Structure 1
């Protein structure tokens, strides 16, 4: 007689039937937007599952995939989105910025110091319309300082960028000389401007805002403004004597003599007149005794350079024009002007704007 087989003893389920807990955790954390944890748990699960012959490989792969996608999107967003909180600036009763904050360029007022969101444009960058800026107290590091506004003429259609630049470039340069009595005191500067776009034009905006910055995105740490009322009589006399030459110097044509010889020659003629006027005013400036000798030498250099400005105004070609300007530079009087500045307790300054390359401000690719 055969005997029935005894019943098999109860066997626990094999490991291949169990679900890896890290696989479940990976999927859950990835769906909860805890991507770093989801990615870590998913990798651990994928390592354990084949070794332990467990289930859950699909869950682990899903957790890793979702977590990786979330991390990729976050990285992309961080590269292109500015997460800084937009907080408005605060002004005191006098209108001075006392609390930094973000605003649109059309809300900037003359005297405001700021940093454009994209930084100051390069010298050869194309002009752009308005931009978002962070307003700052002028004693805090900043990129630019607004110094003047003016209105564009009314017309049916918005003016083109080139039309605005043709008006704004000389206008902003001249207005800067009204903003500071000593345009050389802050070192090399470039002028820029903000102007209304088509939408702003349609809304009635006509204002152009002129501002100034250091070349190469270097920071300013104080205001470039200087009121003539803050000067003593000798300082005022000396700086006012320079004003005709400064005013003509900042209007140097944007195009090279090779591109626009007619414009370059006309500018040289204006510079000759301005230098003659500056020499005349300098002779009459009431300076302290120690400054009289360098003043006389400076005037002599101005007068020696005048014939070369006049020759540049009659130049037959660009090469000849530039040659005459190099001769002007040889009579800039920079050593004597620097000596006078020291004696008058004025800040040290770069080469005075007597020659071809020097100017109190330059007109960069205006913005």
Structure 2
């Protein structure tokens, strides 16, 4: 199938005057016939034998001068047009996103929202960041109770900084230094406390345990020690040489918290120690001549600074001795000493005040009345007691003598003039049965007159 186009000659005047535009060129789907070979071609040089003969095709149609230009076919992608210059390769874009396809074939970079280019994160520079452990070490090191923790954290931070190149080396070193200072202060405090405990009594409240180990106020009943001045070295037991032995410890009785003064404390200590020495040393006759009952009381400095509230009753010797003065008695020994010591306590309670009958006759008479009562009490207890080792006849004679002494003490208390008072008092002293007492002591295995030492301890406490 084809469309034919009419031919208009140039000599036709009608055609010349026709203003109608020519028809467009016919479009045919048939293959155009090859153009005929012109005469000029026939005169040309013969075709070489290598080129096969082909049949002449149909003559090509004349070109339509009014046809629109046919655009050149687009070159294939990546293939330059003939004759076009070859472009230089473009420089690689360092910020171009790297396309990472998802496993489901969507063609979208994984983890990147659609429509936004994926930029790689900037490189992390460790030197721009401080080590967290170094910061923690510096903070902790300023806490006095955690100085050692600050040192440990500082060392850990230095190891991490060396490996990662982070900042904070100065903070780690500072933490170690501050922690070391705290440790040194703690060590000096402990050492100072130990030195203070070895040098002088440290602070203590009554019943607490803050006194120095060498303070005499640390000693308790039954302890033996070497006392030099205010320093007492406690012995493991009394079999080691010592010069003091504690027989009683009392708490100071006071009103308020203020220091009561040296004289009130001395008076209180004398009374307390005299009342309790017979419990520790019942046989006063067994007290050696070189042993003196005494006591230790706190001074103002110890009262205020050390908080000491103790009275220490001591048996002190002039030269070191071994063995304890505490006595273990049989039932007969204890019974005899309990009876006789009760009278002796009343007798020596006022004797140390050295009564002057002329100046205080009334006071002397009161004392004589107390002695008469104590003598009658001793006589009754001697008669009522059961004795296993003592001779009953000797006990009965001693009880009779004590009743006679009681009568003369009452007469002295009721005497009219000074001479009568003195006479009755001396007569009472002669009937105390000193020889009978010595005999009973030999029978019971107690110290005798020739073994008698310092006498009644109650009289010796000062």
Q: 2:244 corresponds to which residue?
A: 144
Q: Cα–Cα, structure 1 residues 262 and 315, in superposed 2: closer, same or farther, change >3 Å?
A: same
| Whole-Å separation in 2 of the counterparts to 1:221 and 1:262 | 47
Aligned 8 A contact 2:287 2:455 in 1: no
1:208 pairs with 2:311: yes
Larger Rg over CA atoms:
2
Q: 2:385 corresponds to which residue?
A: 285
Q: Which runs of 5+ in 1 are unaligned?
A: 1-85, 88-101, 119-130
| Whole-Å separation in 1 of the counterparts to 2:380 and 2:263 | 38
Aligned 8 A contact 1:193 1:210 in 2: yes
| Whole-Å separation in 2 of the counterparts to 1:334 and 1:161 | 39
Q: 1:124 corresponds to which residue?
A: none
Q: 1:132 corresponds to which residue?
A: 231
Aligned 8 A contact 1:174 1:250 in 2: no
Q: How many residues of Structure 1 are paired with residues of Structure 2 in the alignment?
A: 246
1:183 pairs with 2:284: yes
Alpha-carbon distance, 1:350 to partner: 6.5
Q: Cα–Cα, structure 1 residues 115 and 158, in superposed 2: closer, same or farther, change >3 Å?
A: same
Q: 1:300 aligned to 400, 403, 410, which one? A: 400
1:202-241 alignment, distance < 5 Å: 202=304, 203-213=306-316, 217=318, 221-227=322-328, 230-231=329-330, 233-241=331-339
Give secondary structure in 1 for the equivalent of 2:353: coil
Aligned 8 A contact 1:115 1:142 in 2: yes
Alpha-carbon distance, 1:145 to partner: 1.9
Aligned 8 A contact 2:389 2:443 in 1: no
1:215-364 alignment, distance < 5 Å: 217=318, 221-227=322-328, 230-231=329-330, 233-258=331-356, 263-288=363-388, 291-314=391-414, 324-349=424-449, 359-364=456-461
| Whole-Å separation in 2 of the counterparts to 1:265 and 1:168 | 27
The TM-score normalised by the length of structure 2 is 0.46
Alpha-carbon distance, 1:177 to partner: 1.6
Q: Which has the higher contact order (CA 8 A, sep 6+)?
A: 1
The TM-score normalised by the length of structure 1 is 0.57
Alpha-carbon distance, 1:281 to partner: 0.6
Q: 1:54 corresponds to which residue?
A: none
TM-superposition CA deviations, 1:335-364 (whole Å, max 9, x none): 111111211222325699xxxx96353234
Alpha-carbon distance, 1:271 to partner: 2.5
